[in-house]
Structures are given as C-alpha cells and as structure tokens.
Amino acid sequence: MSDVSMIIDGERRAAPSTFGVVNPATGTVHAEAPDCSREQLDEAFDAAAKAFTDWRKDETARRTALREAATRLAAAADQIGPVLTAEQGKPLKAAKMEPLAASMWLKYFADLEVGREIIQDDARAYAEVVRRPVGVVAAITPWNFPIVLSAWKIGPALLAGNTMVLKPSPFTPRSTLLMGEILAEVLPPGVLNVVSGGDELGKWMTTHPTPRKISFTGSVATGKHIATAAAPDLKRVTLELGGNDAAIILDDADPTAITEKLFRGAFDNNGQVCSAIKRLYVPESLYDDVVDALAARVARVKVGDGMDPTSELGPIQNRPQYDRVSGLVAEALAGGAKAATGGAPIDGPGYFYQPTILTGAAEGTRIVDEEQFGPALPVISYRDLDEVVTRANATMYGLSGSVWSTDPDRAAAIAEQLDCGTAWVNTHVALGPHQPFGGFKWSGLGVENGPWGLAGFTEIQVQYRAKK
C-alpha cells in the first residue's frame, strides 16, 4: 500500500494496485504509489466537469483560493522536500525550493489582472474581447521539476476558471500526490484532481472525451503522440518539449568571470533541465581557457545522495536516462572526443554519473545533435561568428539559447538571430512567472507563464452589443 493518496473530487483515494517508486540514489524501490484505474480516471474527469460549473463563475473566489494554495505550499516545503529528494534525487535544499517556487507561481497568477479588450465603441456598436475558460484540462508533468512545473499549469488554468486532472510522471509521483493532498484542503472538491500511474494512464487521459485541453511538459516524442491523440477531438494543446540549447561565447568574453554562470546553466539539476545549456560554442582564441576553467569547476563538484547536505549534484533521475547519458558520452569518446573531466559512471549503487566536459565533439555526433538531458557538456570551437549562428540554429530544437560577451549590446544583436523561444544575454535559465516560456520548431506549441500562458487556457469570445 501507499502512504500517499490520489485526490478525486476532493477526497483521498487509494487505487486497486500500486507501483514501485525507485530512489535513484540507490537504484532500488523505496516506496509505492497508487496506480489509477480507468474507472477512477473517469471519476476524476467527472468530478472536474461537475466542479467547473460553479468554479468558472466567481473570479474573486478563485483568486482567494489560489492565494491560500500558495501559502499552504510554501508552508509545506519541509514536508514535501524529503519526499521529492527520495524519488527525484536532487539535493534536499533544491527539493525544498520547489514548493517555494511553486508558491510564487500560484501567487503571481492569483494577483495577475488581465482586463477586457474593447475593440469597438462607436455610434454603431460596443464590442469587446472576453477570455472564457476552455473547461476541463488534462495536465501531465515530467520528473525533473514535478512540483514547480505542476504550478506552471495549475495557476493559470485555475485562475482562468478551468478545472483540472493532473498526472505526474511515474518516476516522481509521490511529491505531486502529497501536493495534491495539501491543496485539497483549500480548493473546492473536483477543481484539482491528482492521479498517478504509468504511460497507459497518460494515453487514457489524452484520448478521454471530457478534457478540452491538454497541457504537457516532457519529451518531443511523447509530445508528438499527444498532439496526434488530441487531433480527432480538436482538443487544445500546450506542449513544452525538449531543447538542445546553444550557448555562444563571443571573442571578447572573460572566461573566468562567466565560468560559474556557465556551470550553473549547464549542470543545475544535474543537467536535467529542458532549457539548460546543451552545447557550448567557444571561439578558438578562448577555447583552451574556457575548457580549463569549466573543467576545474566541474571537477570540484560533490556528487552524492541528495539527502547528504554536502552534495551539490545528485544522481541522474532514472535508469533509462542514466543509460542514455552513459551511451552518448561513450559513443562520443569512441568517436574521438576527449573528456576534459569526467566521462564515466560513478562506481556503486544508484544512477550516479561523473559531471563531464567533452572536447573534440562537433555536429554529426549525437551528444551535439541530440538532447542529452544530463551532466555532460560538449564544448565546441568556432572561427566565424556568422557560421556559428548558423550551426546553433541547424537543429529541429528551438527552446532557448544564450550569448556571452563583455559588450551586452553586441551580444543582444547576436541573440536576436537565434531561432529559439528565449534568448538570454550573459546568463542562462533565467525564468519567472511573468515571462512567457515556449519553443520554436520541435520544442513545443504555445507558451506557459505570464498573461500569454494564461491566454492559452482560454477561448476568445467576442461580446457585441448593437447600439442601433
């Protein structure tokens, strides 16, 4: 049995069976989670549809409930953190930050004012554009940031007047279920239902007749399947998918000054960030200095169990991802790349891998062309600036990118040429609830966050009043 429950219609619910949840620091099952049945999923969607009738009517009540939800999440950081570390692997300090960040997101949307848009007011008519909720939302979240990425969906969806059935990744279900239990104390029954299960449950959700929108964060491959599943019913979709973010260092940059930011941009959360630096392009004149500085920083990293307060990075979250990162690095090394530091798994239990800086890899190798989503960074040299922009853009990904220089205006001019949803200057992975986040090409459809993300959970209605 599981000591965490699903939330259906405001009530804690067990499931007919459970599935094991692995602690990536040990590689063994440490707890169980409920495995939602198809009948229970029907009940969750029925509860959401029923709750929608009243929830959509009172914006003031929705804002009040979201503010209280934000307060409860922040207060539960010490409760949720250890549960998250045990199933995700990240250091406990980072795990405790997730509920705090989620609280910030919910409060932002609780306070976000978006007025009606008047498009005509003359002798003939008065007309305005009104945003209406879409209805029931099916939300599916990934394993890298289970709590905060749930809030990215819960905040705007609920403010807009929608209700939701939320499913976390089967790799990290327990922290989200615990969050659901906490939020059930302040949200009306049926407004937020939280269920857990494997990939089959996700397929049931995306083909279910009740939801009018699917909000998904995860892999490109799964995103394509969801878009296909949504098409016959014309369900609305927001898909926040993968990235292969390029960071370009210009020839006037100071390697010493930017080393820490580059390290954080590439290795935070063990590189398991969709918008992390995945490829680093460096001019030949600075190449050795940048590699040496990064390799020295990465070599100092303490990798260990997230419950150890001295750990800077934890394990890779799951075995398939561990095998993928190991395989990509091994293939690059076999093809002639060199490891300036790292380059191999760490002996012992769990999915620990040495943080790795690779040299000598280039386009045409999978570690450069694909999204590694782990603690391995290829550093690639270039000579011509126009050429490197072309190389950075020569991918089906288009999530984020960054340019680094002591001249911010020069860097910004290059950043504008990147084909991606967010282009940073002298930083990477700088996100906030007010800032739209989404990608070009295969990196997704639609955006999350800010008034733009809120609009994605609405339909446009024109209200037209004739005057004569």
Q: Catalytic amino acids? A: 240, 274
Number of CB atoms found within 10 A of residue 119's CB = 13
Give burial (CB, 10 Å; 0-12/13-18/19+) of 387: exposed
Is the Cβ–Cβ distance between 350 and 313 less than 8 Å?
no
Torsional class of 458: left (φ above 0), alpha (ψ -120 to 50), beta (otherwise): beta
Q: Is 461 helix (H, G, I), strand (E, B) or coil?
A: strand
Element (H, E) at 296: helix 287-299
Element (H, E) at 455: helix 450-455
Is the Cβ–Cβ distance between 248 and 392 less than 8 Å?
yes
DSSP structure string for 347-383: SSSSS-B--EEEES--TTSHHHHS---SSEEEEEEES
Element (H, E) at 72: helix 59-75
CA separation for the pair 230, 310 (Å, rounded): 45
CA separation for the pair 20, 31 (Å, rounded): 6
Cβ neighbors of 464 (< 8 A, separation 6 or more) are: 120, 125, 126, 127
With tokens 């990290």, the residue in question is 172
